[in-house]
Structure 1
Amino acid sequence: MKLSHLTAISPVDGRYFEYVKSLRNIFSEFSLLKYRLIIEIEWFKKISECEKINDIEPLISEEKIFLNNILNNFSLKDAIEIKNIERKTNHDIKAVEYFLKKKFSLMKSLDEKKEFIHFACTSEDINNLSYALMIIKTRNEIIIPIWYKIIKNIVSFSKKYKNFPIISRTHGQPATPSTLGKEFCNFSYRLIRQFNQLKKIKILGKINGTVGNYNAHFISYPNVDWINFSKEFVNSLGIELNLFTTQIEPHDYISEILHCFSRFNNILINFNRDIWGYLSINFFKNKYNKGKIGSSVMPHKINPIDFENSEGNLELSNAILNHLSNKLSISRWQRDLTDSTSLRNIGLAISYSFIAYKKFLNGISNLEINKFNIKSDLRSHWEVLSEPIQTLMRRNKIKNSYELVKDFLIKKDLDPETLKSFVENLKIKNSDKNILKNITPEKYIGLSTLLVDCIEKYFNNIDK
C-alpha cells in the first residue's frame, strides 16, 4: 500500500495531516536529522576557531560556504542516505557523522579536517542540543502564538459579554448570578498564568562528553577552558548551559515544559466541558451552516463537535505529555536509552494539543449566546436571592437569619411578589428593605463587570 495521509496509521499524519504541517517541519525524522547536522557543523566550526586547538586550521570562506550549503541544500535524498548508513551502523548519530565525512571528502581542505567532526562528543551532546533547538522553535513560533490567540479570543468574549448576567451553577444547581464575561475571565486568567510560565522556562543544553566531565576534551587539549568554551557554544544556539550532567542532559526543563502544556490543556479541557454544558442547556448555540450536517438522521441537530474533538485530543495529548514529563527526568546511573525513544514522541504529544487548539478556536468562532434562554433562566430562579436577603438580615442583627430564610423557601417558591412580601415584614432598616425590594437576579452580579476590566488589563500586560 502506498503511503499517504489516507494510509497512515496515526491520525496525526492521516485525518489531521493538514493541521500539523508546521510541526512536521520540526519533529519529523527528516527535521531531526537536519537539526543534528546543524549541531555537528556548528561544533566543528567552533572547534576550528579555537586558537589553542592548533591541530586544525581556521576555516576559510570557501569552507564556510560549503558547510552552510550542506544545511541549506539538505534534501530528502540526503536524509535517505543517512538512514541507509544507519541501517549498516545501527547507530543514528554515527550515521550523521559518516554522512558528513563523505561530504567533507568532496573538498580537499575539509577532507583533511574531517576527524574533527563530532570531536570529543558523545551522541547525546548532539541529540540534547538538537531537541533543545526543536523545542525553542516550537515554543516561540508555534505554541506561544496559538496560546495567545486562544487567550485573546476568550478575553474578547469576556469583554463583549461583561454585563450579560447568567445564573451560575454550583454542583449543577442554580446559584448566585454572575456574568458571561466574568465566567470566561476565570479561564483566561488561568491560561495566562501558564502562558507566562511557559515563556520563563529556561532551555538547557550540554556538550561535555560521555559522562559530563569533559574527559576527552581535557585529555586532548588541557589548555582550553572547556567549561567556558562549551558555554559560549551552547549560548550561541540560544540555549543555557547545564554544567552538571551525566552522559545526558537530564531533561528536567523538558519535563517542566511538558507539565506546563498539560496544565494549560487541563484548563482548556475544563473550558470545553463548560461550553458543552452551556450548549446543552441552551445558554449558547452554534451558528447555522447550511452546507454542514450535524447528524446523519436528525436534521435539526448542530452538535458541539469542535469542543468535543478538542477535549478528546487534549486528553490524548495529556496522556502522552504526563508520561513523558514523568519519564524523561529519570535515567539509570550515567544514562540508559529509554529516554531516546521517548523523546521522539514529544512531537506527537504536541501535535494532538495543536489539533485540539485549532478545533477549539473553530468552535469558539461559531459560538453564539442564546439571550432569550439565559434571561428566561434568570427569571425562573428568584430563589438565588435568598443569599442577599439573609446577608442583609445578618447585617441588621436578626438572629437565625439563614434559618428563617431557609424555612420560608421550603414553604414557598420565591418570586417577585413573595420576595417583597417577605422583605416587607422584616425588622430591618428601610434602606435595606428598599435594596431588597428592588433587587432582581439580573442585578445581583456583584463586581463581575469590574473583574472583567481587571482581566483586560492583565491580558494587555502579557508579552506575546
Structure 2
Amino acid sequence: MPTQGLPPFSADPDADRGWALSPLDGRYRAQTHRLANYLSEDAINRLRIYIEVEWLVFISTNDLVDGLPPLSAEDIAYLRSLPADFTDDRRARLAALEAQTRHDVKAVEYLVREHILAHSSDEVEAATPSALDRYAEAVHLLCTSEDINNLSVALGVRGAVEDVWLPAAQGLVRGLSEMAQQLGDAPMLARTHGQSATPTTVGKELGVFVWRLQRALKRIEKAEYLGKFNGATGTYSAHVVALPNVDWLTTSRSFVQGLGLTWNPLTTQIESHDWQSELYSDITRFNRIAHNLATDMWTYISLGYFKQELAAQGSTGSSTMPHKVNPIRFENAESNLELSNGVLDVLVQALSTSRMQRDLSDSSTQRNIGVGLGYSLVAIDNLVRGLAGLTANVSLLAEELDAHWEVVSEAIQQGLRVAELQDAQSSSGVAQDREATLGPYELLKAATRGRTVSQDDMLEVINHADLPDDLAERLRNLTPATYTGLAARLVDLL
C-alpha cells in the first residue's frame, strides 16, 4: 500500500540504474559491472552454450561415435559463433525457449540444435553438404544438466575472480605497500587497549596489513576450480551402455582439463562444490583483514593521525556541520565487507551439503556468487580511494609522542634488568637509597603508573640507577620518537 498522498511506483525494468533493486546494479554499478561478464544470468547461459558446443567439437575431434563424420574447420567455427556472438536476438530466443521448457539447460540444448539446423537448411543446395546436420542429435549427448552447469559456473567463477576480483585486491595491496614504505620511518605512538604503548612507525603498522593481506591473496591465487562430466549420478552408466568401447574416465578427464579446470573423478550428480567453499572462505578471510584495515584507518583519522584530502568543490561532509570531512570511504568499505561476508559465508555453508545424490538448493544459492564478490569489490574500491586521499599528520604524531614519555619506561626497565644480569655483584641495579626489594619493573611502575610523565622524570630514574655508562647514555638519548626499534626495517620485508 503506498504512503498516504503518494501514488504507487511502477518500476520500469528497462529504466536506468535508479530503478535497480540491488545497489550493485544501481549505485555501485561502475565498480561491479565487469562481474556481470562472468556471473550474470546471461553470462552463465553463454557459458552453458559454450560447454555444449565444445562437447560437440570434442566428440568430433576424438571420434567418440562410430559413423559420425568429423566436423570441418568451417563447421566448428560456425558452432563456436553461437556463444562467441551471443546477440540480443539469441538471448531473447533462449529466454523464450526457457519459458516453454521451464528448464534452463534444456533451453540451451534446444538453442544449439536450432543453430545447427539453421546451418543445415542453408546448406541444402551445397554440392558437398556439411557434416554438421548429423550433429543435431548429438547435442547434450550423454550429459546431465549438471555436467553443463558445474563447468559453466566453474568457468564463470574463475573468470570473475582471476580477471576482476583478484586484480582489484592486488591493486589495494600494492597501494597499501607503497604507502607503508613511504611512511616506514614516520614514528607514531602505538596504542594497546587504547592506551599509550611502545612507539612504532606508521609504515610498519600499515605493513602488518600488507603482510596479512598478501598471505590471504596467495591462497586465493592458488585456488583450484573443479569440474565433473560423468552423468546422472556420477557413474557413467549410460555412457558405458551406449558407447562401451570408450575409455570414459580418460575422456572425462581430458574434456574437463581441456577447459582449464581440475577434474573431479568422484561425485554424485553434482560436483561437490568443496572448491567453492574453500575459495569463498579464503575471500572472506581477505575481507575480514580488509575490514580490520578499514576500522583502524577510521580510528587513526579520528585521532588526527591522518589528514583527508578535501573533495572537489561543492562536496558536503555534513548537512549541518560545514567543517566536517567524513571518513566515508572507510565506513563504506566496512559495511560492504560485512555484506560480502554475509553472502559468502552462506555460500560456504550451503554449498558443502547436498542431499544424497542431488537436490536443487545449490542452484539458487550459486546465483548469488556475484553478489558476494560484488560487495567485496565495492569495498576494495573504497579502500583504494580512501587510502589515496590520506596524508600522515606528521606534526601531530610528533606532538603526541612528545606528550607520552612514559612509553620509554619499558626500555629503561629492560635496560635495568639486563644490567642486573650482567653484574653479579649488584642485587638491584639501582642506587642504595632504593629499597633492595624494589626491582626494575616495580621501580618504573611506581615512577609512571597513573601519572603524567615528563622527560625529566625519566632522566631522574636513569641518573639514580647504577648503570653501565654506555647503557645510561643510550637511555638518556632515547625519546619516544626514536624508540621505534626495527620498525622501519621491518617494512623492507614487504
Q: Of 370, 375, 396, which residue of structure 2 is paired with 1:373?
A: 396
State how far apart, in whole Å, the 2-side matches of 1:213 and 1:96 are.
Answer: 24
Structure 1 segment 330-349 matched on structure 2, within 5 A: 330-349=353-372
Instruction: Provide structure 1 residue ranges, at least 5 long, that are not aligned to the other structure.
Output: 456-464
Structure 1 segment 116-135 matched on structure 2, within 5 A: 116-135=138-157
Would the alpha carbon gap of residues 339 and 411 (structure 1) be closer, same or farther in structure 2, given more than 3 Å must change?
closer
Quote the RMSD (CA, aligned, Å).
Answer: 1.2
Q: Of 418, 431, 434, which residue of structure 2 is paired with 1:395?
A: 418
Structure 1 segment 271-310 matched on structure 2, within 5 A: 271-289=293-311, 290-310=313-333
**Matched-pair contact (CA < 8 Å) for 2:25–2:33:** no
State how far apart, in whole Å, the 2-side matches of 1:450 and 1:188 are.
Answer: 15
Would the alpha carbon gap of residues 333 and 12 (structure 1) be closer, same or farther in structure 2, given more than 3 Å must change?
same
State how far apart, in whole Å, the 1-side matches of 2:59 and 2:449 are.
Answer: 83
Q: Could you report, residue by residue, the CA deviation over 1:194-237 in whole angstroms, capped at 9, with x for unpaired residues? A: 11111112111011111111111111111111111111111111
1:2 aligns with 2:12: yes
**Matched-pair contact (CA < 8 Å) for 1:30–1:76:** no
Aligned residue-pair number:
455
TM-score when scaled to structure 2?
0.90
Structure 1 segment 17-56 matched on structure 2, within 5 A: 17-56=29-68
Q: Could you report, residue by residue, the CA deviation over 1:169-188 in whole angstroms, capped at 9, with x for unpaired residues? A: 11111100000010011000
Structure 1 segment 13-412 matched on structure 2, within 5 A: 13-108=25-120, 109-289=131-311, 290-397=313-420, 398=428, 400-410=439-449, 412=451
Instruction: Provide structure 2 residue ranges, at least 5 long, that are not aligned to the other structure.
Output: 1-10, 121-130, 421-427, 429-437
Alpha-carbon offset, residue 110 of structure 1: 2.8
State how far apart, in whole Å, the 2-side matches of 1:107 and 1:272 are.
Answer: 56
Alpha-carbon offset, residue 69 of structure 1: 1.6
Equivalent residue for 2:465?
426
Q: Secondary structure of 2:43's match?
A: helix
State how far apart, in whole Å, the 2-side matches of 1:262 and 1:51 are.
Answer: 45
**Matched-pair contact (CA < 8 Å) for 1:25–1:31:** yes
**Matched-pair contact (CA < 8 Å) for 1:101–1:111:** no
State how far apart, in whole Å, the 2-side matches of 1:160 and 1:62 are.
Answer: 57
**Matched-pair contact (CA < 8 Å) for 1:255–1:328:** yes
Q: Secondary structure of 1:361's match?
A: helix
List 4+ stretches of structure 1 deviating above 4 A.
Answer: none
Would the alpha carbon gap of residues 409 and 52 (structure 1) be closer, same or farther in structure 2, given more than 3 Å must change?
closer
Would the alpha carbon gap of residues 235 and 411 (structure 1) be closer, same or farther in structure 2, given more than 3 Å must change?
closer
State how far apart, in whole Å, the 1-side matches of 2:172 and 2:255 are.
Answer: 36
Equivalent residue for 1:462?
none
Alpha-carbon offset, residue 112 of structure 1: 2.8
Q: Could you report, residue by residue, the CA deviation over 1:371-430 in whole angstroms, capped at 9, with x for unpaired residues? A: 121111101110111101111111122362111110122475321111111110012212
Would the alpha carbon gap of residues 52 and 154 (structure 1) be closer, same or farther in structure 2, given more than 3 Å must change?
closer
Q: Secondary structure of 1:436's match?
A: helix
Q: Could you report, residue by residue, the CA deviation over 1:425-445 in whole angstroms, capped at 9, with x for unpaired residues? A: 012212211111110001110
Would the alpha carbon gap of residues 65 and 411 (structure 1) be closer, same or farther in structure 2, given more than 3 Å must change?
closer
Q: Secondary structure of 1:10's match?
A: coil
Q: Which has the larger radius of gyration?
A: 2
* Paired AA for residue 447 in structure 1: L
State how far apart, in whole Å, the 2-side matches of 1:21 and 1:410 are.
Answer: 56
State how far apart, in whole Å, the 1-side matches of 2:352 and 2:476 are.
Answer: 62
State how far apart, in whole Å, the 2-side matches of 1:452 and 1:207 are.
Answer: 48
State how far apart, in whole Å, the 1-side matches of 2:53 and 2:379 are.
Answer: 37
State how far apart, in whole Å, the 1-side matches of 2:393 and 2:364 are.
Answer: 49
* Paired AA for residue 284 in structure 2: S
State how far apart, in whole Å, the 2-side matches of 1:10 and 1:439 are.
Answer: 56
